[in-house]
Amino acid sequence: MKETKYLWWGSLLTLIMLIGYSFSSQAQDKKYPFVDTTYADIDRLEVNGRFCRVKIETVDNGSQVKMEGKIRGLNRKSRFEIMHEKIGKTLRVWIDDLSENSATFATKSYLHFKVPATIELDIKNTSGGIFASKLKGMEHRLRTTSGMINLQDVEAKKIIAKTTSGGIRLQNVTAAVGARATSGMVKAVNVKGDLSIRTSAGGIRLKNVEGGLQLKTSAAAIIGEQVLLTRNSTFRTSAGKIRMKFTNDIKKLNFDLKASAAKLWIGEERYRKRVILRNGQNIMVKGVSNAGSQRYESFTGK
């Protein structure tokens, strides 16, 4: 009888231990979730990430989207959840159920997507960068806080890129681009399309760019080389210089330039504070600077 009683208590203790181990495993999965799945018939991807890097690559897989992700943190009291759902032909992905202090300890986290080239993107991230390449969708919106945005080999009708405490890099891009950066530089290389760029504490750098330009920075320089203007353009800086080398014939450009306390240059000609030059019904170049000089000249390949 005693043996039966001890056997019963032993079985109960074993069952309790197994249940406790199961709950412990599930809790650990909640803290360090990992997702690896594929969705079919997707033409739009919406992501709301937190404390992770977001990487988007194109593959020839029809309309399928393959997703891998991992959110890991050092704070074991935090709870992390990668959520995803399909609505029509849109795939929505977001990070849910994060504790208030998890941002400080999040590490080794990522969302990685392999998508069709024609997909449209709407990506929002917090404390992490965004990288995307080889896209051909109509419109892409990329926003991040405390991270960099990097776009390569993209053809689209419109791109919106915004970052706080990070830079923006555009390379081999054909699209109308609206870019905003706070505490970071915007760099555009081999870009074709109208550009509207604004920075607060970072410079603007252009190389081999074609389009109409609306560029403004508060505390840094605007520098461009091998720039072909296709419509009226404006350059503004509060505390930095402006240096532009055009592939246009500068003798066929109109200029309306103003500097509060610096020199103005058009080609080899130097002016003081204010100059207006008109050469018929041609493209107008407007430049405004407070404490920095302006120089506009022809690109000679150097």
pLDDT at 261 over 90: no
Among positive and negative, which fits the CA dihedral 218, 188, 165, 179? positive
pLDDT of residue 29: 37
- Overall average pLDDT of the 201-210 stretch: 96
Closest CA to 42 of 67, 76, 15: 67
Q: Measured in Å, how far apart are the chain's first and last C-alpha atoms?
A: 98
pLDDT at 80 over 90: no
Is the model's pTM score more than 0.75?
A: yes
Closest CA to 184 of 159, 220, 154, 209: 220
pLDDT of residue 291: 84
Structure tokens at 199: 């920075």
pLDDT of residue 22: 41
pLDDT of residue 27: 36
When comparing pLDDT for 81 and 207, which is higher?
207
pLDDT at 247 over 60: yes
For the stretch 14-23, pLDDT in tens is 554 544 444 3
pLDDT of residue 98: 56
CA distance 171 to 209: 10
- Overall average pLDDT of the 254-269 stretch: 93
- Overall average pLDDT of the 140-148 stretch: 96
% of the chain with per-residue pLDDT over 90: 69
Mean pLDDT, all residues of the chain: 87
pLDDT at 110 over 70: yes
CA distance 70 to 33: 6
For the stretch 21-58, pLDDT in tens is 443 333 333 445 789 999 999 999 999 998 899 999 99
CA angle 153, 120, 109 (to 5 degrees): 80
CA distance 282 to 299: 19
